[in-house]
Amino acid sequence: NRDERALRIATLDWEGLQAEAQACTACGLCKTRNKVVFGVGQPSTDWLVVGEAPGAEEDRQGEPFVGQAGKLLDNMLAAVGRSRQENVYILNTLKCRPPQNRNPQPDEMALCAPFLQRQVALIQPKVIFAVGRFAVQALLGRDASIASLRGQLHEYQGIPVVVSYHPAYLLRNLPDKIKAWQDLLLARKTLAERKAP
Ligand code: URA
């Protein structure tokens, strides 16, 4: 049952977790997905980005944030010296694409949450940069506006969480990029303070 599955996932190592996700059939998204999108980057990083769910391009390639929103995310991260090739890990709340990019459903979120939990527990980042409403829901269990949550620190598994706008939203609302920039700086500052002796 569900609890046993969650407990088992919570004991897996990184390779075991990846294999479990690749073979997952816990929710209906396994019927329509092309690829499971586990995450990308350096699992040994101190900076973790959490997004929503794979889109069409991510579902094709098996890698998160490779479409238009992903380019913006990469540019944003590059501005604070971060890249998926070197020093950040990027993952989604849902590992499989919802058909037509519809919103994740509560049951899908609940069934995918053990993967997210275990990924964070194994990565042990020093800051989590959560973009968009569904990342916030998955990490903080809150359905509040990004505007009301950003600019302050939250917590997941004892790790500071900085909330920001989803890059797909920013593509449609360019003036809010300045706020996302402030959020990146808050994440960077949080990291610097956590590293200080
Ligand atoms: N949007 C997301 O939240 N994640 C992706 O991987 C791509 C687009």
Angle at 18 between CA 10 and CA 24, to 5 degrees: 85
> DSSP class of residue 13?
-
92 lines ligand 1 (CB under 6 A): yes
Tell the CATH superfamily of the 2-195 domain: Uracil-DNA glycosylase-like domain (3.40.470.10)
Which residues touch 136 (CB under 8 Å, ≥6 apart)? 130, 142, 143, 144, 146, 149, 163
**Any atom of ligand 1 within 6 Å of the Cβ of 55:** yes
| pLDDT tens for each residue of 171-197 | 999 999 999 999 999 999 999 998 776
ipTM surpasses cut 0.85:
yes
Mean pLDDT of the chain: 97
Task: Say if ligand 1 is within 6 A of residue 38 CB.
Answer: no
Alpha-carbon gap, residue 120 to 126, rounded angstroms: 10
How confident is the model over 73-132, as pLDDT tens digits? 999 999 999 999 999 999 999 999 999 999 999 999 999 999 999 999 999 999 999 999
Tokens of residue 155, six digits: 């917590």
Summarize the confidence of residues 44-53 as an average pLDDT: 98
- Give residue 195's pLDDT: 79
34-52 average pLDDT score: 98
Residues 6+ apart with CB under 8 A from 117: 9, 10, 157
